[in-house]
Structure 1
C-alpha cells in the first residue's frame, strides 16, 4: 500500500502558516502589503490586545469583485504572477498567493471588499480554513480584512506568543517599515482604541521620519544619491553623532521592500569606518532600486531577504556613495583610546 499521501488542503495551509504567520505582526505585514499592492491611498490598522484578539486592516484600494474574492482564500491564488519567468520581474510586495489562506487556517477571518464601480460588495467569513458564509454587502470601495483569535486552533503556537505590549511592538515595527517606504500613503495605527501612529498622505520623507523618530533624528541626516545604468541609490545616512548602540535604526529598502541584506549593511558600515567607535552603529534609511531581474526576492518565506545577481556591484555603489557624502561633511575621524573617545584634529 502506498505510504505517500497528498495532504488535505487545510493541513497544507496550516503547515504553510508555520512559515508565513509567525506572530500577529506577520499577519499585519501580509495584509498591509496586499493593501499597498491594491494601490491604496490610506490604510488603517486596528489592533486589540497586541493582535491576539483582533487585527483589522482597512484600505481604500481597488478592491475585488465577487469572483476574485472567492479565490482569495485559495492557496497560491494570486493576480501578481502567472508563469515562472514572472518571478524574475516582480514589481509587487506580494506574489505567492498564500498569505490569506495561511492566515485563515490559524484564525477566524472576514474579508469585505468592493470595486469602485460595483453596485455592491462581497463579504466572506472563514473559520480556521473553512468558508462559513459568502454574501453581498453594502460597502465603500476598497477592502477590509479582520482577523480574530489567532492561533486558537494551534495552542502550542499561541502559548509562545509574548506579552501583548511586546507583540504590539512588533506590529509597530512592521507598520513603520511600510510607512517609511511609502511616505505618500496615509497610515493610521491604533491599539485598544488608542491611536499610536497617524501619518498623513503625501508626506516628504524627512517629515515622515520626524513623525516617527523625532526631530533629533530627522534633523541629523545627510542625503545620499547615486545613479548608474544598473542601480539607483537614494535616502539618508545619519551623522556620526546620532549613531546607536544597536541596529534598530537601520533600514534597507530594495525596490520599496524592507529587507535585511548583509551586502548593503556591510557597505554602509565600511563607509563609516573611522567615523564611529567600536560597537556603534550608523543610522540610515537606504533605498536601492534596480531592475527586478537583477534581484531575487523569492528566497525567504516572509520575503525578508533578497539576493543580488551582482553583489559586488551593489556593495561598491553603496560604499562609494556613503564615503562621498561623509567626505563632503569634512568630519574628523574618531579614535578609540582604551575606551576613551578621541576626535582626530
Structure 2
C-alpha cells in the first residue's frame, strides 16, 4: 500500500470546509457577503440555538439562475473572477468560490432563488455536499439560504462549539459589522424569534452607527472626513472622554470590507496619545478607501486580513485624519450645560450648590449622625436657637476636619437647612460622602457624649494603707495580650501630582501610590465579604450597551454577577439592564465595570473558578478605588496612609508595591552633601 495517497474528495471537502467555516458566525458572514455582492438592498439573518440548528439569510439581490444553481455549490465556482489579472484588483467581498461548497459539506442546506427575468423560482436541497434535484418554487426576487444542523457530520468540530448564547452573540457581532460596512443596505437580525437589530439602509453611516451602537456612543462620536493621495478616510471616532474599556468598539473597513489591522489600530491609538486615560481605548467606525491595486485581500481564508502596498501612507492618512478631529475639539470645545447658581434669598432652601450625586445621597441626618453601627441611629432635628450643639469626640481625626466643622458651623437660625447648605458649599466635595461611604472612613459621631468603657481590674485592689509593694504579688491574668510593637510616629506631608501621598517618618520619606494602596484595601475588604457583597437597588435601571460577546458571557454567568452585587437582565437590542449594583460603585462606572468583567471572563474562561473570582475582584477593586490624577480629600489621604503605615497594605492586588522609601542619606547624596 503506497504511503502517499490522494484524499477522497469528500474528506478533502471537509478539510477545506474547516478553513472557511469555523462556527455559525462564519456561515452568516459568507452568506451576507454573497448577498451584498448580488446587489441586495435588504438582508435578513435569522438564527435559532446560536445558529447551529437553524440559520437563514434572505436577500433581495439579483438571484441565481436555475441552470447555475448546482454549479454554485461546486468548489472554486464563482461569478466574480475570470483571470489571474482580476486578483490584482478585487472589488467584491467574495472571490474564491469556496463558501457555498464548504457550507454545504458540513450541513444540510436549502436554497430558494429567483432572478428578475424568471417567472418562477428554483429550489435545491443539499446534504453533506450532495445535491438533490432542482425544483420549481414560488419565491420573491432574490435568494434565501437555509442552513440546518451545522457540523452534523463532523463531530470533532461540533464538540468545540460554545454555548448557544455565545455562538449567537458571535453571529450578532458579524451582522453588526456588515451593517456598519454597508450603510446603504438595510440589515435585520432575528434571534430565536426576537428582532434585535434593524438598520434603515439609507446610505448614511451615522444612521447605521446609531442603530448598531446605540444612542449613547453615537452622541459621543466626532465625524472624520479626509481625502488625498489616493487614500480616503471617513467615519466616526469617539471623544477622548468617551473611550471604552476594550477594543471591541473599534471597527475598521477597507473598501467596504471589515478587516482586523494592527496598522490601522496603531494609527488610531497613536492619535489619541496623551489624550485618553490609561487602560481606555478609543471607539471608532472608520472606512478607508484605497486603490484596489494597492491592497491585497487574498491573505487569509476568512478574508479579514489585508496587506497594503504603501503602509506608511495609509498609517499617516488615518493618523492625521483622526488627529485633526481631536485637535479641532480642543480648539473649539463643545459647550456644556451648567446652570448658574442663583443668588439665595432669605427663606429659600436649595441644593443647587451640590452635585446631583451628593444631592441624591445627602440628608441632614446623614451629615449630623451617619449610620456606622447596627445600633439605632439617632436623628437630628433643627434645634431651637438656645439649644446646645451636639458634641463630637476629639478622637476622630477624619471627622474633625470635615463633618465636625460642618456641624459646629451650623447657624441655629430660623432656616437651619439653608445655612447648612451654605456651609456645605464651602467644604471639599470629597467630604460630602453619603452615609455608606462615611461608614467606611469615619468614626461614630454620637448625638450624646458616650461614656468610655471601664476595663475590669485584673485583681481586687489592696487598701490604701497597705504597702505599695504588695501589688507586685498580684496574680497574672489568664490571657495576657502580646505587646504591640510601637510604630514610629509619622506625618502626612501632602500629595504630589494628585497621585502620590508623601509621608514623613523619622529620617525617611515614603511615596505612596494612592490608587494602588486603595485598590488593595478594597480587594481585601471585598474578599473578606465573600458572597455577601452589599448591593443597592437602583432607582431606575442602568442600561448598558456592550459588545455581543461581552453580553453573552455576562448573561451566562448571572450567578457569579449576583455574588458581586449585580442583578442584570437582558434588555434586548444588544443591551443589559442593571437593576442592582454594589454600593461602592458609582452608577456612571457600571458600564465600564461590566465590560471589564466580561473581558476577564472571556480571557480566563471557567477552568479555575477561584482564579476567575480573584480576577473579577481585581477589576471591582480597581473600579472602586480612588483614581490617580484625581483630587482627594486630606481625610481620605490620611486613611490610605494609615493603612500603609500600619503594615496592612504592602502590595496592590497585581503584586506591584504601593510605596517606595527615600532616606535622608539618599537625598543628601543627590545634593552632594554626603
Same fold per TM (> 0.5)?
Answer: yes
Q: Is the 8 A contact 1:277 1:341 kept in 2?
A: no
- Cα RMSD of the aligned pairs, angstroms, is 1.7
Shift of 1:54: 0.4
Distance 1:86 1:146 in 2: 31
Task: Indicate the residue corresponding to 1:198 in structure 2.
Answer: 198
Shift of 1:203: 5.1
Task: Indicate the residue corresponding to 1:113 in structure 2.
Answer: 113
Task: Indicate the residue corresponding to 1:70 in structure 2.
Answer: 70
- SS in structure 2 opposite 1:197? strand
Q: Does 1:20 align with 2:1?
A: no
- SS in structure 2 opposite 1:273? coil
Task: Indicate the residue corresponding to 2:267 in structure 1.
Answer: 267
Once the two structures are superposed, the pairs formed by residues 1-345 of structure 1 within 5 Å of their partners are 3-202=3-202, 204-330=204-330, 337=499, 340-342=627-629
Q: Is the 8 A contact 2:201 2:208 kept in 1?
A: no
* Structure possessing the higher relative contact order (Cα contacts under 8 Å, 6 or more residues apart): 1
- SS in structure 2 opposite 1:150? coil
Distance 1:232 1:45 in 2: 31
Shift of 1:226: 1.4
Distance 2:20 2:34 in 1: 14
Shift of 1:42: 0.6
Shift of 1:277: 2.1
- Whichever of the two has the greater Rg, that structure is 2
- SS in structure 2 opposite 1:275? coil
Structure 1, gaps ≥5 residues long: none
Report runs of 4+ in structure 1 exceeding 6 Å deviation: none
- SS in structure 2 opposite 1:133? coil
Q: Deviations over 1:226-255 (max 9, x none)?
A: 111321111111001111111010000000
Distance 2:166 2:73 in 1: 29
Aligned length: 341
Q: Which 10-residue stretch deviates more, 112-121 or 162-171?
A: 112-121
Shift of 1:2: 5.3
Task: Indicate the residue corresponding to 2:580 in structure 1.
Answer: none
Q: Is the 8 A contact 1:104 1:127 kept in 2?
A: yes
Question: Is the strand fraction higher in 1 or 2?
Answer: 1
Task: Indicate the residue corresponding to 2:391 in structure 1.
Answer: none
Q: Which 10-residue stretch deviates more, 275-284 or 91-100?
A: 275-284
| TM-score, normalising length: structure 1 | 0.95
Task: Indicate the residue corresponding to 2:433 in structure 1.
Answer: none
Relative distance call for 1:328 and 1:302 in structure 2 (3 A) is same
Distance 2:22 2:195 in 1: 25
Q: Is the 8 A contact 1:277 1:336 kept in 2?
A: no
Shift of 1:161: 0.7
Q: Deviations over 1:185-238 (max 9, x none)?
A: 111111111111122221522222122222111111111111113211111110
Shift of 1:7: 2.8
| TM-score, normalising length: structure 2 | 0.49
- SS in structure 2 opposite 1:47? strand
Task: Indicate the residue corresponding to 2:454 in structure 1.
Answer: none
Structure 2, gaps ≥5 residues long: 334-496, 500-512, 516-626, 631-674
Distance 1:322 1:62 in 2: 38
Q: Is the 8 A contact 1:123 1:135 kept in 2?
A: yes
Shift of 1:8: 3.0
Distance 2:86 2:21 in 1: 24
